Chain A
Amino acid sequence: MIPVLGQVFTAPSIDWWALAPQLILLGAALLILVVSALLAERCPAWFSGVVALVAGAGVFVSGFYLWYDIRDSGPRSIVSGALSLDGFAVLFTLLVAVAVVMTVLVADAYLEREHMDSPEFHALLLLAATGAIVMASASDLIVLFLGLESLSIGLYVMAAMQFRREEAQEAAMKYFILGAFSSAFFLYGIAMVYGSTGSTGLAHARDYLNRLDTAIVDQPWMLMLGFALLLVGLAFKVAAVPFHFWAPDVYQGSPAPVSGFMASAAKAAGFAAMLRIFFVAFGQSRTDWSPVLGVLAVVTLVVGVVMAIIQTDLKRMIAFSSIAHAGYILVGVQAGTSEGTAAALFYLFSYSLMVLGTFAVISLVQWQDGQPLDRFEGLADRRPLIGFALTVFLLGQAGVPLTSGFIAKFLVIKAAVDERTWWLAIAAMVISAAGAYIYLRVIFAIWRRPGAVDEEGGEPVAAPVVPPASGFAILGAMAFTLVVGFVPQFLIEFARDAVPVLLG
């Protein structure tokens, strides 16, 4: 006990074990920075990558440990109510861990080829991942904001890591300005919530709304304004229309492994925060936000799919398709039921692996002037296994049965049907039918004989070198996509187990 200005300040007791994932990531990031700074030239090139990989794996393991710990002793709140340790948080911890491991494996050869600084890259990746995990487990809006900012700031720099490429600079600049802009909205939203409820804690907002029915509450409008502004910040993060404009430019301009991380971990963290805020704090006013999200979902789906269809650059196309996928996830979220939420979690998990795999394949083929689709022609002929894996990822994103993508789409649409939001279910189905064309185009291109390109005078794709680490990551993601497509039960159960804390 330390006396502070006459008051007694009791330091909160902290369950360090429960913080293991964040601590591992943070520690590894600091280790990389310190060692690489001290040793400078003498630091072996593999060092930072290996540390990051070990850290990612460590987070994965600790995530499992925590999962069983929660199963035994129940979910709890840690660090005096700043963070919650529950199945929901652990699910996202595992997802982020997978994204970190995949990104490190894919980036290994990429960094070397593109002459990028690997210690910085890995340290930033780990810090961004810490932010993502904090976002998913925060039970206080300010903590959530800190997580959001550490994730974003890390990503701003990672986007700009190829700092000699003009596209990378431009992407980072746009991401930064728009990200800061939307963060300001988010922060103002927090201020509104604070002003009306007297606290930044999510549980307080819920209690406040619970009292709405009985007691006279002076300014519910201020709370709703705050809620709308929070939604702006998170819709930006998950790239929902009309907050999506940054995504195509940034995904296209950033290094491919970074784009993969943005489309998986960063998007997932945004949705995690969204789900937690909506359900824990604003579960009462579900009827207010459900139609808003429904409209957001449809607009997002339409714009994402329609814009993806007219793209000629593969990275940009996947960026727009990633916007469309945010739309599907929103369909699950808007249902506001435990089934819908579980569907959204399932979707996030399976989509993350598919999009990580897709960007991993893209990162194998680097061109100075972008990734135009015809440069991928004949990829499957030169590298059949990689071509097959990319086909699986694309089929999965198109929602073809026997891939995880089908189950994911099926579950979110079923959630909408269960709630009798027929218009939304029908819209989602029609759009998914149209959207499949996007992926088909790519599949046709990669299986086409490269000879077709020769005739037109273009240069055919050289057989890309497949470094073992990337190959391993790609095959892993492919196996996951197929296995979940065949026996989705374990992932469905996992997602469903993670939900109840939100509704309790």
Chain B
Amino acid sequence: MLDLIWLVPALPLAGFLILVAAGARLGEPRAGWVATAFTSASFVVTALVWISLLGRDAENRVFEKVLFDWLPAGNLRVEAGFLVDPLAITMALFVTFVSSLIHLYSVGYMHGDPKFSKFFVYLNLFVFSMLMLVLGNNLVLTFLGWEGVGACSYLLISFWHTRESAARAGKKAFITNRVGDWGFMLATFLIFTTLGTVTYTDIGALAPNLAGGTATAVSLLLLVAAAGKSAQLPLYVWLPDAMEGPTPVSALIHAATMVTAGVYLLSRMSPVLVHSDVSLRIIAVVGTATALFAALAATAQHDIKKVLAYSTVSQLGYMFLAVGSGAYVAALFHMITHAFFKALLFLGAGSVIHAMNDEQDMRYMGALRKVMPITGATFIVGWLAIAGVPPFAGFWSKDDILLAAWEMDGGGGLGKVLWAVGLFTALLTAYYMSRQVFMVFYGEAHWNEARPAPATDNDEVDLAEFEGPPETVTVEAHSEVHPHESPWTMWVPLVVLATGAALGGLLNLPVIGDWLFLERFLEPVFAGTMHHITAGTGTKLLLAAIATTGALIGIWFAAQVWLWRRVDGRKLEPRLLEDAFEVDAAYARFFGGPGRATAQLAADTDRVVVDGAVNGVAQGTRRLGFLLQPAQSGLVRQYAIGIAVGALGLATWLLIGAVA
């Protein structure tokens, strides 16, 4: 059974090839069904492999299958081979599972798109690359997948490239990711020159020989790589812009799978990371800072997908915090639950956008729960999961991470600080997600209200939003919107994912004795590199209670502002209303003053500093080009001067070398 592992990436590849050859001929919807079938088949094979892996002893669940020597370059041998171990198979399982569902969803979502079959071509290629990334048995093969998923990501972000913003977003993603790729390549070469191998099993065996400085260098380079792919500070800028892509792409690539590649890479290289406490701390700090920063930014968004994008960045920050705390299992646990609920939320958002005739501004939604019962109900499950309300999945995984941060060894109280920030971020998470749910699914319908004249700036926190949609002159008469529930291909995945988001916690449930399935399964991979929780049950329960309280405060706060103030209950419950009003006013003051400044700062940092850096590099390069351009003057005699000067230079250098 284990030998069949090559089928796992081969099936999506076959789908890709078939669609390349005959996609246009198959047309809609058959091209979509073919793609879905191949991806689902890949999931089935993965599950079979997983079951036979479970049949082995816990210590013996590593299997390597080498297909052929891919790059035999002298002392460096790079094989094309697969490494099947609990970590890889866990990744492969949830990647193929979520991918199959999103393929199915896309059949409905992309209905009527002129490039229907091309979309599935890219999607299948993506699944193939992602599986190569997680199943490859060495760094170079992972890099191959890494580049592949990146390429698919750019292609899909700018899928609607007639939209100028989409093309620009694709380029931005590309440029930012090159920084990360550079870190990856450098780390690979450094590993190779010091350990003489790039194969994971050998790295694991030889890592103890690494000098501390080298381990730190490798770890930090890997962090650069991971920060690029997983959208961490300061390389996260591309992810919010990536929402220009079709929504299933946002769900699959920019929420559930590709962006977790960085976390996977760091987990895979844990034998190296463990030798560098410094870099582990840096990883934890970067993750926490990203989590907080992105959560702040999310509170100020109006675009339904942008909220989710910043939320993804924030949740990825949690995973980095977990990795930095040595809690790899918690990181993977959160990765899986996050894949469920975030894919669910994105697909739900897609369903809403679909129903609202491509409207993405939440201020023009509201009360959708009634017309879209299934989307509404599943979205609410996703919301409770991400907000960390027990017993939904997100609660358990987030709790594990916060516990690990609390216990982070050494660091002089750093762990406690990170825990506190993480907790505050959890509160913010509950707040902004509740805000979204209330704005979209509750309250009154604002579907056909007039739009303000200038396009609303998503980065700006405007006090006007408290007065409901701003009343300004209408510039475009929107056609009447009549929201409706989406077709079955779209809601079935929602229901399946909602089940996952609700029950995902079972994977690693701490309460029922020694269940902890995921931890037991993954433990052998991280033996010796993982931090083991030492806290007693009392501490655990206390921390869990604090986290839950935080989440509830966030939801309550949001409800005060976004839900109940819309109920016209001034006369019925004056006191409560007054309170609400005060909260409202306090909130308005807060956001008018320091809060607004903070959120604005976050938004500005995004736009000016980080965007600026990315654009700055591009600009700088161009400027250097224009600086050099006069040399290419077209005058042949100046060219000859170049040759003469070059000849003099070479002669001088070599003569000095010869004499000295």
Contact = CB atoms under 8 A, between A and B. Distances in A.
Touch test A–B (CB under 8 Å): yes
Interface of A: 173-174, 177-178, 181-182, 185, 220-221, 223-225, 227-229, 231-232, 235-236, 242-243, 245-246, 248-249, 285, 288-289, 292, 303, 305-307, 309-310, 339, 395, 400-402, 406-407, 410-411, 413-414, 417-418, 420, 425-426, 429-430, 433-434, 436-437, 440, 444, 447-449, 451-452, 487-489, 492-493
Given A401-B144, A433-B178, 15 more contacts: A181-B640, A232-B646, A242-B645, A245-B638, A245-B639, A310-B622, A339-B74, A400-B151, A407-B71, A429-B182, A440-B171, A444-B158, A447-B161, A451-B162, A487-B70
A410 B154 CA distance: 23
A177 B647 contact: no
A492 B73 contact: yes
Interface string B208-230: 00000000000000000000000
A224 B70 contact: no
Nearest to B637: A177
A429 B185 contact: yes
B193 A417 contact: yes
B189 A417 contact: yes
A437 B634 CA distance: 25
A492 B625 contact: no
6 contacts: A182-B643, A303-B628, A306-B628, A339-B74, A444-B170, A448-B162
A434 B621 contact: yes
With a 10 A CB-CB cut-off, give which of B192, B638, B646 has the most chain A CB atoms: B646
Interface stretch (B261-269, B389-397, B604-612, B651-659): B651-659
Nearest to A220: B658
B626 A310 contact: yes
A228 B650 contact: yes
B654 A232 contact: no
A173 B639 CA distance: 13
Contacts of A451: 162
A173 B636 contact: yes
B124 to A, nearest CB: 15
B17 to A, nearest CB: 12
Contact of A437 (B71, B618, B654, B655): B618
Interface in B610-634: 617-618, 621-622, 624-626, 628-629, 631-632, 634
B625 A411 contact: no
Contacts of A402: 144, 148
B167 A236 contact: no
Contacts of A177: 636, 640
B73 A339 contact: yes
Contacts of A433: 178-179, 181-182
A249 B76 CA distance: 41
Contacts of A182: 643
B626 A225 contact: no
Contacts of B162: 448-449, 451-452
B182 A178 contact: no
Contacts of A224: 654-655, 657-658
Contact of B646 (A242, A307, A418, A436): A242
A306 B624 contact: yes
B122 to A, nearest CB: 12
Contacts of B74: 339, 418
Given A227-B654, A449-B161, A235 B148 contact: no
Given A221-B658, A229-B651, A407-B71, A178 B636 contact: yes
Contacts of B658: 220-221, 223-224, 285, 288
B33 interface: no
Nearest to A235: B646
Contacts of A488: 70-71
Contacts of A339: 73-74
Given A303-B628, A401-B148, A425-B189, A243 B72 contact: no
B2 interface: no
A252 to B, nearest CB: 11
With a 10 A CB-CB cut-off, give which of B74, B161, B174 has the most chain A CB atoms: B74
Contact of A228 (B167, B640, B645, B654): B654
B204 to A, nearest CB: 22
Contacts of A307: 625, 628-629, 632
B647 to A, nearest CB: 4
A contact face: mostly helix, strand, loop, or mixed: helix
B491 interface: no
A178 B186 CA distance: 39
Tier of interface size on chain B: 35 or more
Which 7 pairs of residues, A with B, have the shortest CB-CB distance?
Answer: A245-B639, A310-B625, A224-B658, A433-B178, A401-B144, A228-B651, A242-B646
B584 interface: no
Contacts of B161: 444, 447-449
Interface string B40-78: 000000000000000000000000000011111111100
Given A232-B650, A235-B646, A444-B170, A178 B71 contact: no
B523 interface: no
B contact face: mostly helix, strand, loop, or mixed: helix
A327 to B, nearest CB: 15
B143 interface: yes
A232 B639 CA distance: 14
B629 A310 contact: yes
Contact of A245 (B69, B631, B651, B657): B631
A434 B617 CA distance: 9
Given A224-B658, A444-B158, A444-B171, A232 B643 contact: yes
B647 A440 contact: no
B643 A181 contact: yes
A425 to B, nearest CB: 7
Contact of A292 (B143, B178, B654): B654
With a 10 A CB-CB cut-off, give which of A221, A395, A407 has the most chain B CB atoms: A221
A488 B73 CA distance: 10
B650 A400 contact: no
Given A429-B185, A444-B158, A178 B179 contact: no
A245 B625 CA distance: 14
B639 A292 contact: no
Contacts of B629: 307, 310
B175 interface: yes
A292 B653 contact: yes
Contacts of A305: 621
Contacts of B510: none
Given A417-B193, A429-B182, A444-B167, A245 B144 contact: no
B413 interface: no
A177 B653 CA distance: 26
Contacts of A487: 68, 70
Contact of A440 (B174, B193, B632, B634): B174
Interface string B173-196: 011001101100110010011000
Interface string B69-112: 11111111000000000000000000000000000000000000
Interface in B142-178: 143-144, 147-148, 151, 154, 158, 161-162, 167, 170-171, 174-175, 178
Contact of B621 (A306, A447, A492): A306
A339 B636 CA distance: 38
A182 B143 CA distance: 43
A223 B651 CA distance: 11
A231 B639 contact: no
A428 to B, nearest CB: 10
B592 interface: no
B468 interface: no
A312 B618 CA distance: 16
B147 A292 contact: no
Nearest to A440: B174
B655 A221 contact: yes
Given A242-B643, A245-B639, A307-B632, A292 B650 contact: yes
A119 to B, nearest CB: 30
Given A225-B655, A231-B650, A430 B636 contact: no
A289 B656 CA distance: 12
A243 B189 contact: no
